[in-house]
Amino acid sequence: MKLKELLTGLPQYRITGDTDIEITGLAYDSRNVGPGDLFVCIKGFLANGHDYIRQALMRGAAAVVAEEGYVASPKLPSMVVVPNTRLALANLASTFYGHPSSQLKLIGITGTNGKTTTSYLVTSILRAAGYKVGLVGTINYAIGQKMLPASRTTPESLDLQRLLREMVDAGMEYAVLEVSSHSLELERVTGCRFAGAVFTNISRDHLDFHLSFEHYVAAKQKLFRHLDEDAHAVINLDDARARQMATATCAQVTGYAIKQKAPLCVKEYKSSLEGISATLNIPRGSLALRSSLVGEYNIYNILAAVGIGLCMGIDRETIGRGIAELKQVPGRFESIDYGQGFGVIVDYAHTDDALLNLLTTASKLCSGRLITVFGCGGERDVGKRSKMGEVAGTLSDYSIITSDNPRSEDPMQIINQVEAGLIGSGKTADNYMVCPDRFWAIHQAIDMAQAGDLVVVAGKGHENYQILADKAVSFDDREVARQLLEQIS
């Protein structure tokens, strides 16, 4: 593709040099540049792409995209100057890969909690309807039945557009995308055309990045602000910020709720360790369904997925079948059962709101003690640590505070901040322990559990690693629990 053709996707730029040159690819990491590539300089959190222009040129870059303020060397080839290189990368990538989001129906799902489960439910409904579906999210990326490891919840714009192009070429008709607040703020989904979007909920998270809750909310709004008039927005009306999402969009809005009347709401439901049975009120009728998922918070996720299914024109029977066919979401209220006489659940809950939902559900399903193993990640929002401690202390009979992904922080410093919240809930040394080693924390919980108890291991869910100061090590809560339970079964 000629550089001048690529530049038609940029809203604002100025250029020095030849625009008739052939561009063979795009890159934002100088280590990935090949001959003929266009190198886009991204200002990252740890490095600045403008500092690596020389390396990109040595690897054969044909042209460079840089931000205003960079002083170009006379030895540079064609130089494109833009106000924001992240925005430019997104638009260039969409153009280079032929605007793939316009060639399939893209469903975006955003919110603090529930994105992954809702994305799995939507995917199951679409597949039940006979569609070929791609999936991009926290656990993995999928092109039909082909699975790829997920580097992050929402890939960088260039990687996302490349992935969407692969989906189109593989015959996918839909793509379901978890849309993180980081991706919205960093322009990763700019250039994507969404057929539908879901707002699950919003509570405190990622304030280490967004700095304030209002900025976090504003980032989520961007998804709905950029929807076209013929798109659909499915919004949780029980959330306090629902109105802000609804008023931000010109798309067709469908609301869902449990606590109030809404176009999609619950008539009745039952929840147990075996799953959920519910009757929903939907436009022009009702829908009876069953799901293997557990807990009231999953009823919200089911409502959201049903909403998208209806908006996409899928009949109620097919929607019900799609809900029923999803048996488990990895690391989401995942039961580890070796016939041990007590329950063991592994879940990804890593915010105070998610932990509250998880432990509220767990306590209702537990005839004995609720034993909770949890921690908080390092280099992330410090303010949620004591709140998570308070939630665990309030709802658990016994808590074990351990390490999550401490990263470069001192694990004991994180634990002390969590412990302050737990003590604030009224718990004493008889009601909790500190065990920094996560393996031994899970071991202690399983060792003390008796018949009727429920052990909840929260924070990492599907993750199969633990991030320490200088390395990532293999660690999977589910595998650890299986190993320990196998020894006592």
Which pLDDT score, from 0 to 100, does residue 207 have?
61
CA neighbor of 333 nearest in space, from 483, 458, 482: 458
Answer for the pair 361, 470: CB distance below 8 angstroms, yes or no.
Answer: no
3-96 folds as 3.40.1390
Question: What residues does each domain of the chain span?
Answer: 3-96, 100-325, 334-488
Pairing outcome for strands 133-136 and 343-347: unpaired
| CATH of the domain spanning 334-488, picked from 3.40.50.300, 3.40.50.720, 3.90.190.20, 3.30.300.30 | 3.90.190.20
The rounded distance, in Å, linking the Cα atoms of 305 and 178 is: 13
| 111-169 pLDDT tens trace | 999 999 999 999 999 999 999 999 999 999 999 999 998 988 899 999 999 999 999 99
Which pLDDT score, from 0 to 100, does residue 58 have?
94
Q: How many CA atoms lie within 13 A of 321 on its CB side?
A: 10
* Residue 296, token pair as written in the block: 């009231």
CA neighbor of 178 nearest in space, from 474, 457, 462: 462
Which pLDDT score, from 0 to 100, does residue 274 have?
87
Pairing outcome for strands 105-110 and 174-178: parallel
| 262-283 pLDDT tens trace | 999 999 999 888 899 999 999 9
Pairing outcome for strands 146-149 and 140-143: antiparallel
Q: Say yes or no: do domains 3-96 and 100-325 share a fold.
A: no
User: Is the whole-model pTM more than 0.85?
Assistant: yes
The rounded distance, in Å, linking the Cα atoms of 379 and 40 is: 28
Answer for the pair 150, 144: CB distance below 8 angstroms, yes or no.
Answer: no
- In degrees to the nearest 10, what's the CA dihedral of 143, 147, 150, 155? -10
| CATH of the domain spanning 100-325, picked from 3.40.1190.10, 3.30.420.60, 3.40.50.970, 3.40.50.300 | 3.40.1190.10
Which pLDDT score, from 0 to 100, does residue 288 have?
97
* Residue 369, token pair as written in the block: 């003690």
Which pLDDT score, from 0 to 100, does residue 295 have?
87
CA neighbor of 306 nearest in space, from 327, 288, 320: 320
Which pLDDT score, from 0 to 100, does residue 151 have?
84
Please give the sequence-ordered ranges of beta strands (E in DSSP) within 251-407, or none if there are none: 252-257, 264-272, 275-282, 285-291, 334-335, 343-347, 370-374, 398-401
Answer for the pair 61, 23: CB distance below 8 angstroms, yes or no.
Answer: no
Residues of the chain with pLDDT under 70: 71-74, 204-211
- Give the SS3 label for residue 412: helix
CA neighbor of 188 nearest in space, from 155, 166, 216, 210: 155
Phi, psi of 422 (to 5 degrees): -65, -40
When the pLDDT of each residue in the chain is averaged and rounded to a whole number, the result is 94
Answer for the pair 378, 416: CB distance below 8 angstroms, yes or no.
Answer: no
